[in-house]
Every structure is written in C-alpha cells, then in structure tokens.
Amino acid sequence: MTSNTPVKKVPIHLQSSQNRLLIKNGKVVNADKIADLDIYIENGVIQQLGRNLIVPGGVRIIDAGGCYVIPGGIDPHTHFELELMGATTVDDFYHGTKAAVAGGTTTIIDFALPRRGQSLLDTYKNWRQKADEKVCCDYALHMGITWWSEQVQQEMAELCEKHGINSFKAFMAYKGLYQLSDSELYDAFQTVRNLGAVAMVHAENGDIIAKNTEKLLSAGIKGPEGHQLSRPEEVEAEAVTRACTIANQVDCPLYVVHIMSKSAGDAMAYKRKELMKKGKHCTLYGETLAAAIGTHGNRIPCTWHDQAAHVLSPPLRPDETTPNHLLTLLNENALQCTGSDNCTFNKNQKELGKDSFTDIPNGVNGVQDRLSVIWEKGVVPGILSPEKFVAVTSTNAAKIFNLYPRKGVIAEGSDADVVVWNYKAKRTISAKTHAHACDYNIFEGLECHGVPEFVIVGGRVCVDEGNLRVAQGHGNFLPTPINPPFVYEGQTPEVEVDHKENHQVIEEIREQLHGLTPN
C-alpha cells in the first residue's frame, strides 16, 4: 500500500443514470458562504455547480428546495471495534459508519491504538483489516503513540512515508497504560514535527488523577461519581497548557482532542492568542465533542447505569453553562473541530465497573447525532452560523488532516459526499431508533431540528428521503499525506463571514424554526 490517492472504482453495473444525480433548488452551505446552487454528480464526484445546468438525460433529480445542502460531516474522532479496559466497543466499523451516515457524517477518522510494546505497523495493518471490508463510508486513521522507543520513532516515519498516516495521538493520562512522560512527549512531538505530521494529545494530568483515585477509593467512594471527582477541570486545563507549551518548544502542530471543560477551552484560547501575538502562524488546534455540547455532568436523578453510560475521559462537567461556553469558543475559532469520540459499550460491559469506577470502560456514543446536536445547540439559538457549523463539523477537520478539498467542501472536483439538511424538520434522539449497536444513547429524548433527508456518500444515495440504505464495504481508506498546507503553509482557516449578513441568516432561521414550533 502506498499513500497515493486510490482511483475510485466504478463497477460497470453502476455506470448508468443511477450514478448521476442532480440536487436541485437547495442552498449550498460551505464554510465561507451560502449560495443558491444545483449540484451535478457523476462517478462519485461533484462535476458541476450552478443553476440551469446542462446535464445528460436519465439523471435522478433530488429536490432540495427549502433545505440547506452541506458537505458531508467529517468526524475526526472515533473508536470502532476498540479493545479498551477489558471490553470491545460494540460499534464496529460497520455499525459505526452506518450510524455516521444515518446522521450525515460521510468520513470518519479512527484511532489505531497499539498496546504498550506493540508494533505500530502491525497495529495499522490490524485496523485496515478490521475496517476495509466493513466501512459504509470513507475513513482515515490516526495512530496512537502509546509507548516510546526507537522502534516507535522508526515506525512513525514508515507510516507517514508509505501508509498515509499524518497524525499521531499521545496520552497524558491513562497512567500505566498509555501515558507518556513530559520528556517522552517532547521527543514524540519533535519526531512528529520532523515528519511534517500533526501531533494530537489527550490532555489530562494522569499522575494527579492516579493520586486522587487512590484517595477516593480509600474513602470508600467507588461509584461512577468518583470518575468525575478524580479528574476535575483544572486537571484538564493544566494538561492543555502543558501540552501546548511542549509542542511550542519544538514548533510542532498540535491538535488537542476532546476538550470537555470551560477552563480547558480557555487555556487553549490563551495559548493560541499568545502565539498569534508573537506574529506566528498558530498551529494549535482544539476539538470538543458532541457529548460536551449535547449533555452535561449535572443530570439528577440518575441511575447507576445512566451515570456509567456517561463515563468518558475527560468527564462531562457538572456545570450546565459548559456547552454554550464551548460553542462560543468554536464560533471564535479558539476551537476548530467537533468530534464524537464514539466509543460505545453496552450496559453489561459498563458493569465491569460495578465495584469500582476505575473499571468502567470509558466512552459514549455520538457519531450519529453529532451534526444534529451541534445544529440544535449551536445554530438554532444563534451561537453558530450555518457556515460556521459546516466549518466545525467538516471543513476544518479536512484542512487540518489534509483531506481538503477532496473532502469538507462542496466544490467541482470534490468527492460527492453531500447532505440535504432539512433544518425545518425535527426528530427526537433515542436508543430505540438509532443505528448504533449500543443499548443506550446519552442524548436520549433530545429533540433536534435538522434532519439529514438525503445523505450521498461517494455519489451513492445512502439516506434516501430519510430511509437508511448503506452498503457495507462501500467506503475506502483515505491516505492522509504529510505537510497539510493549512497547517504547514499557514493558509488561513475559513474566510471570515460578514457578521451582519451572518446575523440576518441566523435571524431568518430562527423565524422559520419559530414558525414551526407550537407555542
């Protein structure tokens, strides 16, 4: 395998009018603007954009009147079929990508995580084996730096040069399992920098968490509430600051995953501002999660199973103002991306931790509902514009991980990953109806405006008037080349949208939504 972009195979039986689509009458939303455009798709690629397009006969026409048409979501953070804390996530690459597509996400980036001492190349091969036959949409991989040695360093180079991996996640937590010391982080970031790749980090202070955990357990606190108590906000914020500081020493681009708290988000904003004040092109990036926006850690009353279902690291904060604060940071470009960290365990697997919170497998759902949650909490109240929504759910991730402009934009020549987003329609999230393999949903009961009515994945209609029709194995592995221009050549993020115009659009949406809401 090489990092050359694979040519899309179009089977003969698909080279017909079925393979040609015209999406008409919609408003196309990209990260920089909204425009009235029709989209002509053939052979899995966007061929033409405009009104009154001249297209061949026998084309399937999809009427997107009254809807937005957005680039398919890119979820830069999933864990499908991952063995973690004695259990394997129930969403494998089939169920996980099926759920993704159901919610309007058409590309996922999963983490290949080696065990301590395990070869990174073997891990990469293992992940390709797990994923290639099963994926319903395209996928790329990040590699975990879960231990540090000469071998790891060499294998990182080989992964970049031959296997299309350009991002590496290190851990400051999970002491004894994945955690690296500051000195190892320094070396790892230096290696990433030398390779022209992007470092990623799980930012929590693992040493402090271990100390707090000992104290809590000896005080008899063993229930799920102990998880949050062992890792308060400042333990996250401190690690964010430290990770950025270490990355700055070696001039390494750094993407901080799953920022879950106000103070950790503010720490990120501060470190970015510091660099920009020095006149530097800022290559510190932050991601928050659908979980952090769509729910919080202050849900009472709450059963053991409900609490356990919400256990992830860093934890949900017992502060109901967290979601809006994180959304504001996204709007200000202090944070750039939203992921799901989809890492689902069933109730019986969560029960591994019934005697101690330290044994509850960490992780929640989110790959299906991420777009709906960000729209409902961000766009509906007017915190994010539709363009910013596209930036933080798709475009920015494509730019940072070098998938742009093949992904993350509706443009001629881009992959035909397109969602017809009916922002007037509503749905209620529930485990009873979701496409995940897991038996709970942390957003249970949340009513969301914004329904993906059509989801087109590589030119194939996979959600058709709301009906999910995925094809196992339809997706391809996406090699991510090193030296993303956005990161290494200082290309600006999205063109800033005009605030006034933007405000008007938001007001229009509000009005339309309001008109549809009883009372």
Least Cβ distance, residue 264 to ligand URP (angstroms): 14
* 341 lies in the binding site for Zn ion (CB under 5 A): yes
Chosen from Zn ion, ligand URP, none, partner binding at 436 (C-beta under 5 to 8 Å by type): none
Least Cβ distance, residue 289 to ligand URP (angstroms): 8
Per the structure block, which two tokens stand in for 71?
A: 């680039």
Chosen from Zn ion, ligand URP, none, partner binding at 204 (C-beta under 5 to 8 Å by type): none
Least Cβ distance, residue 235 to Zn ion (angstroms): 14
Per the structure block, which two tokens stand in for 121?
A: 């190349």
Question: What residues between 342 and 401 interact with Zn ion by CB under 5 A?
Answer: none
Least Cβ distance, residue 213 to ligand URP (angstroms): 15
Say which DSSP state 432 is in: T
Among the listed ranges 91-99, 298-306, 338-346, 386-394, the one in contact with Zn ion (CB under 5 A) is 338-346
Among the listed ranges 41-49, 67-75, 497-505, 510-518, the one in contact with Zn ion (CB under 5 A) is 497-505
Least Cβ distance, residue 135 to ligand URP (angstroms): 19
Alpha helices in 66-119 (DSSP H): 93-102
Chosen from ligand URP, Zn ion, none, partner binding at 363 (C-beta under 5 to 8 Å by type): ligand URP
Which residues would be at the binding site for ligand URP (CB under 6 A)?
79, 202, 258, 312-313, 341, 343, 362-363
Residue whose CB is less far from Zn ion, 134 or 202: 202
The number of CA neighbours under 13 Å toward the Cβ of 492 is: 5
Residue whose CB is less far from ligand URP, 208 or 470: 208
Q: How many CB atoms lie within 10 A of CB 509?
A: 20
Residue whose CB is less far from ligand URP, 213 or 313: 313
Chosen from ligand URP, Zn ion, none, partner binding at 503 (C-beta under 5 to 8 Å by type): Zn ion
Least Cβ distance, residue 284 to Zn ion (angstroms): 17
Tokens 């988000």, residue located? 265
Least Cβ distance, residue 42 to ligand URP (angstroms): 39
Residue whose CB is less far from ligand URP, 110 or 494: 110
Residue nearest ligand URP (C-beta atom): 362
Q: Are 461 and 416 in contact (CB under 8 A)?
A: no
Residue nearest Zn ion (C-beta atom): 202
Least Cβ distance, residue 76 to Zn ion (angstroms): 10
Least Cβ distance, residue 120 to ligand URP (angstroms): 18
Least Cβ distance, residue 258 to ligand URP (angstroms): 6
Residue 490's Cβ-count burial label (10 Å; 0-12, 13-18, 19+) is: exposed
| Cα–Cα dist 257/240, whole Å | 10
Chosen from ligand URP, Zn ion, none, partner binding at 268 (C-beta under 5 to 8 Å by type): none
Residue whose CB is less far from ligand URP, 341 or 376: 341
Distances in Å between the alpha carbon of 84 and those of 156, 198, 345?
22, 24, 10
Distances in Å between the alpha carbon of 171 and those of 72, 98, 182, 313, 343?
29, 29, 10, 11, 16
Per the structure block, which two tokens stand in for 186?
A: 């320094």
Among the listed ranges 122-130, 179-187, 198-206, 478-486, the one in contact with Zn ion (CB under 5 A) is 198-206
Alpha helices in 181-261 (DSSP H): 182-195, 206-218, 225-230, 233-249
CA dihedral 355, 358, 360, 363 (to 10 degrees): 170
Residue whose CB is less far from ligand URP, 107 or 313: 313
Choose among 82, 101, 87, 194: nearest CA to 141: 82
Distances in Å between the alpha carbon of 101 and those of 20, 295, 453?
20, 22, 11
Residue whose CB is less far from ligand URP, 269 or 360: 360
Residues facing residue 490 across a β-bridge: none
Query: Per-residue contact track with Zn ion, 70 to 109, x per CB under 5 A?
Result: ----------------------------------------
Residue whose CB is less far from Zn ion, 374 or 383: 383
Chosen from ligand URP, Zn ion, none, partner binding at 407 (C-beta under 5 to 8 Å by type): none
Choose among 357, 340, 431: nearest CA to 392: 340
Residue whose CB is less far from ligand URP, 312 or 505: 312
CA dihedral 343, 349, 353, 357 (to 10 degrees): 20
Residue whose CB is less far from ligand URP, 258 or 406: 258
Q: What is the 3-state secondary structure (H, E, C) of 309-355?
A: HCCCCCCCCCCCCHHHHHHHHHHCCCCCEEECCECCCCHHHHHHHCC
* 202 lies in the binding site for Zn ion (CB under 5 A): yes
Least Cβ distance, residue 45 to Zn ion (angstroms): 32
| Cα–Cα dist 334/266, whole Å | 8
Choose among 330, 320, 203: nearest CA to 269: 330
Least Cβ distance, residue 290 to Zn ion (angstroms): 12
Residue whose CB is less far from Zn ion, 42 or 341: 341
Choose among 397, 130, 419: nearest CA to 286: 397
Chain residues in the site for Zn ion (CB under 5 A)? 202, 341, 503
